[in-house]
Amino acid sequence: AVTAPELFWRNRRVLIAGGTQGFGLVLARQLVRRGADVMVVGRSSAGVRRAIAECEAAAAPGSGSRVYGLAADLGRSGEGDRVVASCLEHLGGLDTLVFCIGQSSRTAMLTLPVDDLRRAVEANLMTAVEISQAAAEPISQAAGRMVYIGSLAGKLVTPGMAAYAVGKSALAAFVDAIRLEVEAKGVRVLLVSPGPIRRKAVTSESSDSPGFHRYDDDVARHGLAEDLAQPGGGAAIRLLDPEKLATEILDACRRGVPELTRPWKAGLLAGIIEWCPTWGRQFLARFTADR
């Protein structure tokens, strides 16, 4: 039987910035399965071709879903306009923007090179500004959706996440600002703040989950390099299932939910820190030190 989320996404025209790899590609495949028309954007032409092939393979027989792709660097001024123009040309319009770009390294704030912080802000914030300003008008005309994949690091700052936390916190503020400007036009804006997401490759640093060292299929360890060098060092954090998370995001977007934090317990802790900062931060410090 066809479910409500699948009906909602059928024939929707979706642009995914950062949709050629990692979690962005997971979202792209799920959208195509639900009958959406999708354009994926990434910096590598080869990556774009691979993503298109994966999405086309994921499409349900007879769905009629269309998949396009474009290589672009949204860190460059003017690229957002080029991307959106291509999307309008190929898809005939734009209903939904999904922003899924992030970059960082595992560092402490007091020793963080200023250029590294600048690059993190460029990657996590300015790319969102570039594509959002270009996409806002057609999405407003469609009374559509804007979805931003942020990070739990933007809510709960832990050791080793300095640059990433600053970039994602700035993204969250940007999302709040753009929501005020577009919701009166019928656009619904969703900010997603996930913890580390399970991935196929075993890495100590990645664009999706910087500062996390993967050691099996379900758990990551987080901390500074010197912490992770010790047996059992760092905080143990359970990884999120990417397919389940993508399903939750698409359903939240359909329902017009403004924010989604996973795991939900982390969202609860972030709320406690906001209302009881002294107690909440003491608890967070004990967690990151003892796990």
Q: For residues 282 and 284, what is the distance between their CA atoms, to the nearest angstrom?
A: 5
How high is the pLDDT of residue 205? 38
Residue 218 maps to a domain: no
CB 210 within 8 A of CB 104: yes
How high is the pLDDT of residue 12? 97
Which pTM was predicted? 0.83
Residue 126 maps to a domain: yes
Q: How far is residue 173 CA from its own chain's centroid?
A: 15
CB 220 within 8 A of CB 212: yes
CB 182 within 8 A of CB 188: no
Residue 78 maps to a domain: yes
Q: At what angle do helices 127-141 and 162-182 cross, to 10 degrees?
A: 20
Cα separations (Å) of 215 from 15, 231, 242? Answer: 33, 12, 17
Residue 207 maps to a domain: no
Residue 57 maps to a domain: yes
How high is the pLDDT of residue 197? 87
Range of the domain at 258: 4-200+240-290
CATH number of the domain where residue 43 is located: 3.40.50.720
Residue 81 maps to a domain: yes
Q: For residues 47 and 51, what is the distance between their CA atoms, to the nearest angstrom?
A: 6
Residue 99 maps to a domain: yes
Instruction: State the sign of the Cα–Cα–Cα–Cα dihedral 198, 201, 204, 209.
Output: negative
Q: How many CB atoms lie within 10 A of CB 89?
A: 10
Residue 233 maps to a domain: no
CB 79 within 8 A of CB 127: no
Number of domains in the chain: 1
The strand ranges marked E within the chain are 13-17, 37-42, 67-71, 96-99, 145-149, 188-194, 212-214, 219-222, 235-238, 259-262
Residues of the chain with pLDDT under 70: 1-6, 104-105, 200-237, 264-291
